[in-house]
Chains A and B, each alone.
Chain A
Amino acid sequence: MKKSKMLVASALVGLSGWASAQAIDPLQLRSWAAACANCHGTAGVAQSGMESLAGANKDDMLKKLLDFKTGRKPATLMHQLSKGYSDEQLEALAGYFAALKK
């Protein structure tokens, strides 16, 4: 269920990460997220052939991003891009896209 996924996500990023992620300025977060739009579409709604991020489940997205970062999940380039962000930044981005309309 959703609650257990939340717990997993919290455990992965650590409680301090969770707290600092809450403090990120919304406009700053909007700009960080806009950098993903080149491939994943304006406001996370992608054109064909690429995954849309808008409205996706936050915990699933965060797990995927962290798995890319650690190399647990194979990728063509997301393993290289995810390493450019802290776990807290990835969590904030996952939260941002999850809150957008599909």
Chain B
Amino acid sequence: MQRRQFVQTAGAGSVLGALGMVTGCATSGGSGGPHVVVVGGGYGGATAAKYVRLWSDHGIRVTLVEPSAAFISCPISNLVLGGSKTMADITTPYDNLVRRHGVNLVRDMVTSIDPDKRTVKLAGGSELTYDRLILSPGVDFMWDTLPGMAKPGAQDKVLHSWKAGPQTVALRKQLEAMPDGGVYALSIPLAPYRCPPGPYERACQVASYFSKAKPRSKVLILDANDDVTSKGPLFKKAWAERYKGIVEYRPKHKAVDVDAATNTLKFEFNDEVKASVLNVIPDMRAGDIAVRTGLATANKRWCEVDFLTHESRAAKNIHVLGDSIQIAPGMPKSGHMANQHGKTCAAAVVALLTGKQPNALPIYNNTCYSFVSEEDVVHVASVHRYDAAQKTMVTVPGSGGVSTAANELEGRYALAWARNIWADTLA
């Protein structure tokens, strides 16, 4: 392990050279070489920041603006709810991006972007100028579709836990405090939303916890969609066989309001449901900063991009990545995909800033593992390539697929996947 880390460090340029860039970046801010500002240190933004540095041989200065002290992974966070992993297991510091790759990390929030002047304003009061901006703000929630959630305290009581962090811990506490015999209800929005199989994995994880600690309790899945949106037969098999009598799945349940005071969920067509623990995943759209900048041109929700470069179709020199984009056919909103966007965009940004042609044929894959218990996992995989005639990414015919059955071997691969993608994004 140590040897590998050394090789990686050395491979990024001479160790002394890399250190020199760190101090140069941290102090100079404005001098020497093009400047790329990356907004958001999730799977998309952190990967883009690292790879712009790697692929420009440290010639392009990169500033990453991220408010959080550390990266907390959404993938694997359902296992924290299930009780088999801790927050420490899914948390990675940003240190290596700074130390190893010379990324200038600014712990702040971007409040506005001026695409004409090519500047961003930060909540802390300072301003950054960029040659190219990489925007990876993830999703924000459309709270106006659930009016009751605007009441004071509602969002502290009825949690989404769809951004791993304090709400992950808070939901686990609610589950631990729930008496045996209680009902945990999970509301799923209409697709598209972040991580298609995520809600169904969450149902499995909570059911796994209940089966051991509170066997008389129930998991009630209230899905706005007509059917399970990902790995349907595999999840349904897990619910029927592993969690018989615990999990109940109800499709076509579109939530229209929440009464947080009584933990009651109201629907368009169905009877209301009251739960001991109510977990509502609201409708979502591109992160606020992308919407405010006028980049969310698809249904006012998602940002349309050129898939060769990830440059916004609405603003020049601004590239958008990850869950915020209007996805191509068959492309999930996933951390794995955001990481692929990050590398595709980084290569294109380096090419554009050094007078080269961006890659005309991006090809990348998505792999998504879901834990149906503490050990057993099912996957969905796909390969995506650029189609010049349609000007979008398409899935390659004949490729991709799902597991034949949940299995422990893929449970080990899933955790290895996590270690590897965290390292590819942050180390």
What residues of chain A have their CB less than 8 Å away from a CB belonging to chain B?
Answer: 25, 27-28, 30-32, 34-43, 45-50, 76-77, 80-81, 83-85, 89, 101-102
Contacts and interface: CB of A to CB of B under 8 A. Distances in A.
A70 B410 CA distance: 21
A42 B425 CA distance: 9
A43 B8 contact: yes
B90 to A, nearest CB: 15
B314 to A, nearest CB: 25
29 contacts: A27-B351, A27-B356, A31-B344, A34-B347, A36-B365, A37-B343, A38-B340, A38-B365, A38-B367, A38-B417, A38-B420, A39-B367, A39-B416, A39-B420, A41-B420, A42-B8, A42-B54, A43-B8, A46-B420, A47-B420, A48-B419, A49-B416, A50-B417, A76-B407, A76-B409, A77-B403, A80-B381, A84-B382, A84-B385
Given A42-B8, A84-B383, 17 more contacts: A25-B359, A30-B55, A31-B343, A34-B343, A35-B364, A35-B365, A37-B424, A38-B367, A39-B420, A45-B8, A49-B412, A77-B381, A80-B383, A83-B399, A84-B365, A85-B363, A85-B396
A76 B413 contact: yes
B419 A80 contact: no
Nearest to A89: B363
Nearest to B425: A38
Given A76-B410, A89-B363, A101-B7, A42 B423 contact: yes
A48 B413 CA distance: 10
Contacts of A84: 363, 365, 382-385, 396, 399-400
A77 B367 contact: yes
Contact of A49 (B364, B413, B427): B413
Interface in B347-402: 347, 351, 356, 359-365, 367, 379, 381-385, 396, 398-401
A2 B120 CA distance: 56
Nearest to A49: B416
Contacts of B122: none
B51 interface: yes
B104 interface: no
Contacts of B327: none
A25 B360 CA distance: 10
Nearest to A84: B383
B11 to A, nearest CB: 6
Interface in B83-126: none
> Considering residues B361, B396, B424, B427, which has the most beta carbons from chain A within 10 angstroms of its beta carbon?
B424
B356 A31 contact: no
Interface of B: 1, 4, 7-8, 11, 51, 54-55, 336, 339-340, 343-344, 347, 351, 356, 359-365, 367, 379, 381-385, 396, 398-401, 403, 407, 409-410, 412-413, 415-417, 419-421, 423-424, 427
Contacts of A32: 363-364
Contacts of B360: 28
Nearest to B5: A45
A37 B398 CA distance: 22
CB-CB nearest 7 A-B residue pairs:
A84-B383, A49-B416, A84-B399, A35-B364, A84-B396, A47-B419, A83-B399
A56 to B, nearest CB: 14
A31 B364 CA distance: 9
Nearest to A50: B416
B338 to A, nearest CB: 10
B343 A28 contact: no
Contacts of A49: 412-413, 415-416, 419
B383 A31 contact: no
Contact of B424 (A38, A48, A81): A38
Nearest to B342: A34
A87 B299 CA distance: 40
A22 to B, nearest CB: 16
A55 to B, nearest CB: 10
Contacts of A36: 365
A28 to B, nearest CB: 5
Contacts of A30: 55, 347
A80 B397 CA distance: 11
A102 B3 CA distance: 10
Contacts of A25: 359
Contacts of B7: 45, 101-102
A39 B424 CA distance: 9
A39 B400 CA distance: 16
Contact of A83 (B51, B363, B383, B423): B383
B416 A47 contact: yes
Contacts of B424: 37-38, 41-42
A4 B336 CA distance: 38
